[in-house]
Amino acid sequence: MRRTALVTLKHLALTLVFAPALVLAGCDGGGDTGGGDCANGDAPSFTSIDWSSCTHCHSSSAADRQAAPVDLNYDDYNSASAKGTRTAERVMDGTMPPTTSDGPALSAEAEAQIIDWSQCGTPQ
C-alpha cells in the first residue's frame, strides 16, 4: 500500500513537471524535460534508452505479456516509434509501467528520456 502511494505521488510530480513542457514544446526543441534539445540533435535515440521496464511485457520474446498488445514491442524500433506519443503520455500519467507489474520500475532518467524521445520525433 505504501509503495503504491509513493509511486502515485512520484507520477503526479512527474506529470506536473513534464506535461506542460511536452505540451508547450512540441517537437521544436524548446522543451527541457530530460535535457535533450531537439534543435541541436541532443535528443535520446531509441537505442540509448533503457527499455527494460517496458520490455518485461512489451517484447516479442516476453514470457508473460500481462495483456500488453501483441503489436507493441520496445525491442523493435518500428513498433515503438509508431506509438511514441502514446508511450510518453502513458509514462507521464503514471499508467506505464503499471504498479501491478512484477517487472522493474522505470527510472526517472528513463522516463525523461522516453518523453524527450517522443517529443523530438522518436529518433532511431
- Give the H/E segment covering residue 114: helix 108-119
The residues of the chain scoring below 70 in pLDDT are: 1-36
Hey, where are the domains in the chain?
2-25+52-119
Confidence at residue 10, expressed as pLDDT on a 0 to 100 scale: 55
pLDDT, tens digit, for every residue of 11-35? 444 444 444 444 434 444 334 345 5
Q: How far apart are CA 100 and CA 12, in angstroms?
A: 17
DSSP characters over 14-33: HHHHHHHHHHHHTTTT---S
